[in-house]
Structure 1
Amino acid sequence: MQMHRSEATTTGPAGRRLRTAAWVCACAFGLLVTPLQASAGAVVSCTPGDDVLSDACRRVDRVAQHGSWDLYLTGYAWHIDGYSAEQRHALNAKSWGGGAGKHWTDANGNEDILFAFVFLDSHVRPEPIAGYARVWFTSPVMGGLSVGGGWFAGFTARKDVLSYIPLPIALPIASVRYRNASVMGTFIPHVPGSGHGDIAFFWTRYEF
């Protein structure tokens, strides 16, 4: 009987959930250590030139090699419109999670950012996300308060969308920063065939 219970645990729904969670955690760990591996001596050869791809390559390499570390903690997901009261009650808004990244601040106070973190999605399943962001900030006031806006591009993966096959993503980003601490957010528009409405997603960042 013990063997039958063990087999059921590893082959049934619980076993599939465990294997999925382990796979997601392994992928997330790989995403999180990428900046560390890059800064430890990986050599990136960017093509000389002023084209968009060459410039992007140089920016990413500069952040990875010379950027300062960041800590990320998520977060909150606001299901805005297109959702009924019952759907909002059933969906998870507490998108707890965290991760790490690096940033480089230029002479104008704007930032290039590499990031990777994992959070709980609307169905309480782990969702990893990693990518590059460019954020422009206003001049600091009141001892270090500034607001910023920009965009980010990268990859995410969800259980309910192609069963964790990585998906490209590009979204706007906004930030309110006081010295080294920031509250950041993005707007995720409704995609036909996936979900019911728009979502605003928020997280925090601390710059070391």
Structure 2
Amino acid sequence: MLKKLILSFVALPFFVFANEGAESTSKNDENTGIWQGIKNTLSETWNSDKYELYIPANTWHNRATYDRDKIDSYNERPWGIGAGVYRFDKDGDWHALYIMEFQDSHNVIEPIGGYAYQTYWRPGNSDKWRIGIGYTLSITARKDYNWIPFPAPLPLFSIEYDRLSIQSTYVPGVKRNTGNILFTWLRWQL
């Protein structure tokens, strides 16, 4: 029950969108197509009984793209917390639905939530060590954007040992003193 309360704000829009027109889908097309694949992936992840805890660790502003005075004024310790539900598929790839909040560069709380996916390289076929690459399709809101929610599709990278992961994303920027941020957090599979 707690999972459904915590994650409902993230998953509901995905489920509504994926279920649109589901009644009109013919029996032959029921298990095929992009929308059915999205629906299956999200449903399997949503129904997982495995949970994760996220602890934001560091926000690094790329020194080559920021003025020194901006870097000196920004917060790079994004205190916060998050939770998610996850699963590994038959190929060993990780899927998660999550929510997290952290202090942004201006020390203001920023919420984020969405779906995440990673595929892995397992050095020496290790059961414990994994190096992951993937993406997140998320939604966030910021005070400096008047709390208007906006999409944040971002890359994901991780180094993992057993149930502990150091996971990061890079927020790109298109002009000086914006974006170009490496955001890193710890992920613990409970």
TM-score band, normalised by shorter chain: 0.7 to 0.9
Match of 1:95 in 2: 78
Pair 1:114-2:97 in alignment? yes
Which position in structure 1 is the counterpart of 2:27? none
TM-score normalised to structure 1 length: 0.75
Return the letter of the residue paired with 1:121. Answer: D
1:33 aligns with 2:6: yes
Is the contact between residue 10 and residue 113 of structure 2 (CA under 8 Å) also seen in structure 1? no
Q: Deviations over 1:129-170 (max 9, x none)?
A: 000011001125466111010111010000001x11111110
User: Which SS does the other structure have where 2:70 is aligned?
Assistant: helix
Change in Cα spacing, 1:201 to 1:36, as seen in structure 2 (3 Å) is closer
Q: Partner residue of 2:148?
A: 165
Structure with higher Rg: it is 1
2:177 matched to 1:204? no
Distance 1:160 1:144, change over 3 A: same
Q: Which runs of 5+ in 2 are unaligned?
A: 23-29
Partner in structure 1 of residue 33 of structure 2: 51
TM-score normalised by L of structure 2: 0.81
Which range moves more in the overlay, 77-86 or 112-121?
77-86
SS in 2 for 1:93: coil
Alpha-carbon distance between aligned partners in 1 of 2:104 and 2:10, rounded to the nearest angstrom: 28
1:152 aligned residue (119, 129, 136): 136
Structure 1 gaps, min length 5: 1-29
RMSD (Å) for aligned C-alpha atoms: 2.8
For the residue of structure 2 that corresponds to 1:66, the secondary structure is: coil
Do the aligned partners of residues 207 and 147 (structure 1) sit closer, same or farther apart at CA in structure 2, a change above 3 Å counting? Answer: same
**Letter in structure 2 aligned against 1:76:** N
Whether the aligned pair in 2 keeps the contact of 1:157 and 1:166 (CA below 8 Å) is yes
Is structure 2 residue 147 aligned with structure 1 residue 174?
no
Instruction: Report percent identity of matched pairs.
Output: 29
